[in-house]
Chain A
Amino acid sequence: MKAIVRTLLASLVAVLIGGASLSTATDHFRAFTTEAARRLAVREHPVDVPAVTLETETGARLDLAEFRGRWLLVDFVYTRCPTYCTTLGSEFAQLQRSLAAPLAQHKVQLLSISFDPEHDTPQRLAEYLQRFRTSDSEWLAARPVDQEGLELLEKRFGITVIPDSFGGYTHNAAIHLVDPHGRLVEIFDAGNPSVAAQAVMQRLEP
């Protein structure tokens, strides 16, 4: 009888501690995957984007911090990518159409950042844009100029790039929204650009 009571007590302690650990590990049972956790974390605690130097498709250098003052939609790509990034490319093209007005007013900017800077020279970035963009305006493609910059970007944005079985890469593709203060505030599914466009339009309304 004593052993039963003790066992119940010990099990109860294990359940309480275990339950608390599982709750902490899943943000109170809201995020079971790293990707869900990343999106939740950004919504609750916006992340300052780092001041990383980028080289654009024209060869011009600029700092990620220079985009402050407008809403920035960022995706991470590599131009050799045969699958996901083509989807991302056409999604940004779709955003160019649905956000045409705020883009023209310089309230919004689209930016594709390459995580394969060795291969993605300005020329290749220009070709990438050529393939997808519907108009000339407000969509830049750029690569970080050094490895530290790339690592810092991946860390702050929460991008994990792994090699795939075909000599390319797989990464957690998404559309990232940075506010005019330079804070990453929301992350959207790559497959659904209209949701991202809607969110931007909502935030633009006073």
Chain B
Amino acid sequence: MIARLQLHSARGALVLLVVLLAPPIRHALEASMTTQMLVQIPLLITVGVLLSRAVPARVDAAIAAWDYRGITGLVLATLVGAFWMLPRSLDAAVSDPRFDIAKYLSTVLLIGLPFALSSRRMGFIVRGVFLLELIATFFRLGWLYLIWPDRLCNNFLLDDQQRLGRYMLLIGALLFIWIAIKLLWGRLDSFAEASSPALYQDTGARHL
């Protein structure tokens, strides 16, 4: 059963990656700052998340020894994520093929994969801090893109940048509403239920 899930996830990750690498789709997504940041990069992160399900339990257990409550993976994913939030990096990903390759590799292997592996190990507080920081980042960046009078990227138009800003504020607001509903009526740890309980290093954290 687990082997089957691993195979399916690995296959799914591969298919999604091939689709994203297809030149027409790649060019369409990279032609706009909005689709690059809100469609392409999130889908690449998804490839990494799918890939994480194909990681053998033995390997995951070895990583867990260095990833108490998912902290290491979260730190890594956050730093790499910060890099791809720099307007300069987004610009370079379009005009410099080396940056484009780095984007594909790092979003899959250094954001999606470590985050997915670590998220199973995160406790209530780590998860809460991450979610609130994610929402704050959407608001901060969205606000910046919306009000900045000049283009932040030489490869993208100003109206594209402002549209990205509006969408980021919207996503931040939706995430905020979702977390508010969860706090009032639900359990924050429920999105880890899909993963196997055996992977928990710290079982206490799960029921916090």
B87 within 8 A of A: yes
Residue contact B156 to A33, C-beta cutoff 8 Å: no
Residue contact B92 to A162, C-beta cutoff 8 Å: no
Which A60-111 residues sit within 8 Å CB-CB of chain B?
none
- A74→B199 CA distance, assembly (Å): 63
- A72→B88 CA distance, assembly (Å): 28
Give the Cβ gap from B158 to chain A, nearest Cβ, in Å.
8
If over half of A's interface residues share one DSSP class (helix, strand or loop), that class is named, otherwise mixed; here it is helix
Which A28-54 residues sit within 8 Å CB-CB of chain B?
31-37
B72 within 8 A of A: yes
Give the Cβ gap from A98 to chain B, nearest Cβ, in Å.
24
B137 within 8 A of A: no
B75 within 8 A of A: yes
Report A153-182 CB contacts with B as 1/0, cut-off 8 Å.
000000010101100001110000000000
- A6→B65 CA distance, assembly (Å): 7
With an 8 Å Cβ cutoff, the count of chain B residues facing the other chain is 31
A195 within 8 A of B: no
Give the Cβ gap from B2 to chain A, nearest Cβ, in Å.
24
Question: Could you say which of A3, A6, A10, A160 contacts B154, with CB atoms under 8 Å apart?
Answer: A160
- B154 / chain A contacts, CB cutoff of 8 Å: 33-35, 160, 162, 171-172
- A172 / chain B contacts, CB cutoff of 8 Å: 151, 154
- B152 / chain A contacts, CB cutoff of 8 Å: 32-33
Residue contact B82 to A22, C-beta cutoff 8 Å: yes
Task: Please name the residue on chain B nearest to A7 by beta carbon.
Answer: B68
Known: A25-B83, A32-B88. 7 other contacts (CB 8 A): A7-B67, A14-B72, A14-B75, A22-B79, A34-B153, A170-B151, A170-B157
Please give the residue numbers on chain B whose beta carbons come within 8 Å of chain A beta carbons, in ascending order.
64-69, 71-72, 75-76, 79-80, 82-83, 86-89, 91-92, 95, 151-159, 201
